[in-house]
Amino acid sequence: MKLSLATRIFLGYALVLLTFGAVSLFSVAELHRNRLEIRLVSQGYLQLSQDAAALETFQTSQEKDTERVLEQNSVETRRALIRLASLYYAPQMAQRLEAARAKAREVLTFAPEGEVPFVKELDARFAELARNSQAYGHAVEAVFTALAAESPESQEVARATAELRQLESAIGRELRVLRATLGNRIRERVDGAEERERRTGLTIIALSIMAIGVGVGVTAWSARTLRPVRTLIEGVSRIGRGDYSAQLGVRGEDEVALLAREFDQMARSLQAREAQLKSQAEALMRAEQLAAVGRISAQIVHEVRNPLSSIGLNVELLQDAVDSAKFDSQDTATEARELLSAVTHEVDRLTDVTEQYLRMARPARPDLEPEDIIAVLDGVLDFTREELVRAGVEVVRDFAPDTPRVLADQGQLRQVFLNLLRNSREAMPTGGRLTVATAPRDGDVEVTVRDTGNGMTEEVRRHLFEPFFTTKEGGTGLGLAVSQQILQAHGGSLSCQSIPGQGTTFVLRLPCA
């Protein structure tokens, strides 16, 4: 079967990748195995061995203390020392054995499958030591009881003492065996790891040499296969410089010849499309001009805001001056105050208009965080309570208790709700009922804002979210357009349902967090 040039090159380099990949996988697997082995020894067996050594030291110390107690001639002193041993040794031994068992159970979580029986055996030995330690505590109590009698019987004391020493000897012997077992296991694992590391190093060296040889061979073979491509460089360079009249004229039936003929065809096609590109460039220039007009409009709005701020500040200063000035008549003073109030109102209105134009021209990217939408709605409704009460609007909060959190920018979300509440209030000039409800809907949260106002016609509703469309005198027609833009940036939606004379309902949907 005849393979194409690309297929041959691909197969060659695929072989190189597979070879180096096999070496890398083998190295990673061995490193992982060594890491587990080191963890087993350092964090498992070595710590258990240290625990066993500490227990053995503690037990040896206790045996010496027992000998000293039994050698005491003073009965009262012996009783005191035995009571001290019963209060100190048993709890300390139980606590240390429990810590050792906990460590053994922890080792089980990362021990290789072949080591699980050994670790379970260690856990069983620690359990047996715990039982012996408990029996030792009872034996100490028996000795204390025998010595606590008014006239201690020597046989009873001897029997209790013999039992105590027997338990001490058994515990000490078991600890020594346990420590020796752990030491032998550690040496076995370390010796095995060293031998495995030596074999792994030799294997990786051999595989690396083989991979390098394969890579060098494939590179030489690819260079020989691609040698005819060099003859195409000059012709392709001429085409790249814009000389579409250049023709390569390479003969043959292989991929290089086919590539040369495709370049010749491409040159002819590019020459034919050059005129088409000129017309498209002109259209693009017109589109850029329109975009520039939009940017200039945003800049003009930005420039207007600065003098507006100065005008507003100066008007406030004039109002203060007028309040403290003296006029010839009360009518003149009233007229001056009304004129300044009208100027202030218009400055505020123009400032609000410029802010809406800027938000429309350059919308801010939302900073999405999990938010409690009920808390946001409560905050907005509390903020607008006085305004709604003065307008005679009754607010009904119908929040579903299982409403989940949403991914939203809280500031932008408050802006949307404030705009919708203001629209609902203005739609009910003589008062009415405003119902705000939440409910989970198919992975989203749905918020409805329903008023009992005048409603709107279908014609008005169709154009409601278009920029600059408004039915209010002095309105900019940007509030709902900006709100819809904000919700779309959140991955949500804003829709409207309205019946003339029966009110309007705005429905928001936001994705759950």
115-129, 162-176, 293-307, 427-441: range with lowest mean pLDDT: 293-307
Whole-number Å distance between alpha carbons of 313 and 324:
17
pLDDT at 283: 44
The H-or-E segment that residue 505 falls in is strand 503-511
Residue position matching structure tokens 């028996």: 142
pLDDT at 13: 77
Is the per-residue pLDDT at 293 higher than 50? no
Whole-number Å distance between alpha carbons of 94 and 130:
6
Mean pLDDT of 362-367: 68
pLDDT at 290: 35
pLDDT at 397: 92
Distance of CA 48 to the CA centre of its chain: 38
How many domains in the chain? 2
- Neighbour tally for 100: CB within 10 Å: 24
List the CATH number of the domain containing 483.
3.30.565.10
- Give the Å distances, CA to CA, from 221 to 2, 17, 224, 226, 358: 17, 16, 5, 9, 63
Is the per-residue pLDDT at 297 higher than 70? no
267-282 tens-digit pLDDT = 778 777 776 777 677 5
pLDDT at 439: 92
Length of the chain, in residues: 513
Indicate the pairing of strand 393-399 with strand 432-441. Answer: parallel
Backbone angles phi, psi at 329, to 5 degrees: -145, 160
In a domain, 66, yes or no: yes
Query: Between residues 438 and 332, which one has the greater pLDDT?
Result: 438
Backbone angles phi, psi at 71, to 5 degrees: -85, -10
In a domain, 88, yes or no: yes
pLDDT at 82: 66
In a domain, 496, yes or no: yes
Residue 446 banded pLDDT, cuts 50, 70, 90: very high
- Give the Å distances, CA to CA, from 229 to 9, 236, 459: 14, 10, 67
Q: Which of 242, 468, 203 is nearest to 353 (CA)?
A: 468
In a domain, 381, yes or no: yes
In a domain, 255, yes or no: no
Contacts of the segment 35-44: beta carbons below 8 A, 24+ positions apart: 36/110, 36/112, 37/189, 37/192, 37/193, 38/193, 39/110, 40/107, 40/110, 40/111, 40/112, 40/115, 40/189, 41/186, 41/189, 41/190, 41/193, 43/107, 44/103, 44/106, 44/107, 44/110, 44/111, 44/119
Q: Which of 93, 53, 89 is nearest to 69 (CA)?
A: 89
Query: Between residues 424 and 306, which one has the greater pLDDT?
Result: 424
221, 254, 283 - which closes a domain? 221
In a domain, 397, yes or no: yes
Residue 209 banded pLDDT, cuts 50, 70, 90: confident
Mean pLDDT of 427-445: 90
Is the per-residue pLDDT at 458 higher than 80? yes
Q: Which of 437, 435, 432, 449 is nearest to 393 (CA)?
A: 432
203, 221, 239 - which closes a domain? 221
pLDDT at 289: 43
137-170 tens-digit pLDDT = 777 777 777 766 656 666 777 777 778 778 878 8
With contact defined as beta carbons under 8 Å apart, do 174 and 129 qualify?
Answer: yes
Cα(first)–Cα(last) distance of the chain, in Å? 56
Is the per-residue pLDDT at 443 higher than 80? yes
Mean pLDDT of 184-200: 82
pLDDT at 477: 67
Dihedral sign of CA atoms 483, 485, 487, 492 in order: positive
In a domain, 229, yes or no: no
221, 241, 266 - which closes a domain? 221
Is the per-residue pLDDT at 482 higher than 70? yes
Residue 244 banded pLDDT, cuts 50, 70, 90: low
Domain around 107: 5-221
Residue 41 has what DSSP assignment? Answer: I
pLDDT at 365: 75
In a domain, 340, yes or no: no
List the CATH number of the domain containing 149.
1.20.120
Residue 294 banded pLDDT, cuts 50, 70, 90: very low
pLDDT at 300: 63
Mean pLDDT of 383-405: 89
Residue 99 banded pLDDT, cuts 50, 70, 90: confident
